């Protein structure tokens, strides 16, 4: 997600004290392409999320899943592109949050509802609503905590609650299984299990359970470059060849990493507390 940053291009500058001519000049001031490009990527991700809803309504669930995953990939690119180009703005951050709510809150919930949750329309719709609300709360908390002062540096290694893109990818796990070799039915008999699973992922997103963050990854050690490129290439090939099976493994990896992130967070928290006690007079 694109972090808010003050703009120096007139997009977010206060103009209450400007004269009419100054406001007019500011309004028609040219905006660099480096500011526009990340927002275009965000809009493309939003288009993918909205397209996923349409495809699900047309019962094209495999294409709907691919559209949600494409939105997640683009979401990972827009923030990094903004930081690389030094084009981050407050406008871009707000647009990114709104797009994320649609892509990772509304779209996955509706995809699942059109697939199986509608078999239990009351509880199914309730689960879809809870998931979308959890995504909205998760994104709002993320935006608020960006400017939280006094946080230890090691907090940057973790997300508070499951990130919205990871929640969107993980919550579709039953659909991945259905579209792969398992062929889970979207029937009334299993709909309650799907509902409970959606509520569980919604809880992980709204909770304060720590999850590993990849945002601290910067420069890669020279001896790890080849293995990293190899791993990315293999993952891309698996996604292209066996998309649903690969997404199943990725979802299970997200869920399996939670205990390790909790353990790591607790260890760092204890070490931080011990340092504070030692430094205290």
In a domain? residue 6 = no
Q: What are 96's strand-pairing partners?
A: none
pLDDT exceeds 80 at position 204: yes
In a domain? residue 260 = yes
Span of 10-24, 148-162, 219-233, 243-257 with lowest mean pLDDT: 10-24
Burial class (CB in 10 A: 0-12, 13-18, 19+), 219: exposed
- pLDDT tier at 190, thresholds 50, 70, 90: confident
Q: Are 40 and 74 in contact (CB under 8 A)?
A: no
How many other C-beta atoms can be found within 10 angstroms of the C-beta atom of residue 40? 12
In a domain? residue 15 = no
Number of domains into which the chain is organized: 1
The Cα 33–Cα 38 span in angstroms is: 9
In a domain? residue 2 = no
Q: Which tokens sit at 217?
A: 């990854």
Query: If you average pLDDT over residues 140-150, what whole number do you get?
Result: 78
pLDDT of residue 13: 46
Using DSSP, state whether 281 is helix, strand or coil.
Answer: coil
The Cα 190–Cα 186 span in angstroms is: 7
Please name which of 16, 11, 17, 14 lies closest in space to residue 30, comparing C-alpha atoms.
11
The Cα 66–Cα 244 span in angstroms is: 9
How many other C-beta atoms can be found within 10 angstroms of the C-beta atom of residue 266? 11
CATH number at residue 163: 1.20.120.1760
Query: If you average pLDDT over residues 143-148, what whole number do you get?
Result: 76
Q: Are 251 and 172 in contact (CB under 8 A)?
A: yes
pLDDT of residue 29: 63
Q: Are 209 and 200 in contact (CB under 8 A)?
A: no
In a domain? residue 1 = no
pLDDT in tens, 45-72: 999 999 999 999 999 999 999 999 999 9
DSSP class of 212: E
pLDDT exceeds 50 at position 8: no
Q: How open is the CA angle 189-191-196, to the nearest 5 degrees?
A: 125
In a domain? residue 148 = yes
What percent of the residues of the chain are helix, what percent strand, and what percent coil, each to the nearest 5? 75, 0, 25
150: left (phi over 0), alpha (psi -120 to 50) or beta: left
Q: Are 79 and 38 in contact (CB under 8 A)?
A: yes
In a domain? residue 127 = yes
pLDDT exceeds 90 at position 115: yes
Span of 40-49, 162-171, 188-197 with lowest mean pLDDT: 188-197
Q: What is the largest CA-CA distance in the chain?
A: 67
Domain range for 106: 20-272
How many other C-beta atoms can be found within 10 angstroms of the C-beta atom of residue 139? 21
pLDDT exceeds 90 at position 275: no
The Cα 87–Cα 81 span in angstroms is: 8
Burial class (CB in 10 A: 0-12, 13-18, 19+), 55: buried
In a domain? residue 60 = yes
Position with higher pLDDT, 78 vs 2: 78
| Secondary element (H or E) of residue 60 | none
The Cα 153–Cα 144 span in angstroms is: 17
């Amino acid at each position: 997600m694109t972090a808010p940053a003050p703009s120096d291009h007139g997009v977010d500058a206060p103009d209450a004290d400007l004269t009419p001519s100054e406001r007019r000049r500011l309004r028609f001031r040219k905006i660099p392409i480096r500011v526009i490009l990340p927002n275009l990527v965000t809009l493309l991700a939003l288009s993918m999320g909205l397209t996923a809803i349409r495809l699900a309504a047309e019962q094209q669930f495999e294409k709907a899943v691919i559209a949600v995953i494409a939105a997640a990939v683009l979401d990972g690119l827009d923030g990094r592109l903004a930081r690389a180009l030094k084009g981050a703005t407050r406008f871009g951050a707000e647009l990114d949050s709104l797009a994320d709510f649609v892509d990772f809150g509304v779209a996955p919930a509706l995809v699942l509802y059109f697939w199986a949750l509608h078999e239990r329309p009351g509880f199914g719709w309730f689960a879809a609503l809870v998931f979308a609300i959890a995504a909205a709360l998760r994104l709002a908390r993320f935006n608020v905590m960006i400017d939280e002062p006094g946080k230890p540096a090691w907090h940057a290694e973790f997300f508070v609650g499951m990130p919205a893109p990871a929640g969107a990818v993980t919550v579709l796990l039953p659909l991945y299984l259905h579209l792969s070799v398992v062929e889970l039915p979207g029937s009334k008999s299993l709909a309650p299990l799907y509902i409970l699973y959606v509520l569980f992922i919604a809880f992980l997103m709204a909770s304060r359970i720590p999850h590993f963050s990849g945002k601290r990854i910067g420069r890669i050690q020279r001896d790890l470059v080849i293995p990293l490129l190899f791993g990315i290439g293999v993952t891309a090939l698996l996604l292209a060849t066996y998309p649903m099976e690969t997404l199943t493994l990725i979802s299970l990896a997200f869920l399996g990493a939670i205990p390790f992130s909790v353990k790591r967070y607790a260890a760092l928290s204890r070490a931080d507390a011990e340092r504070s006690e030692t430094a205290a007079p």
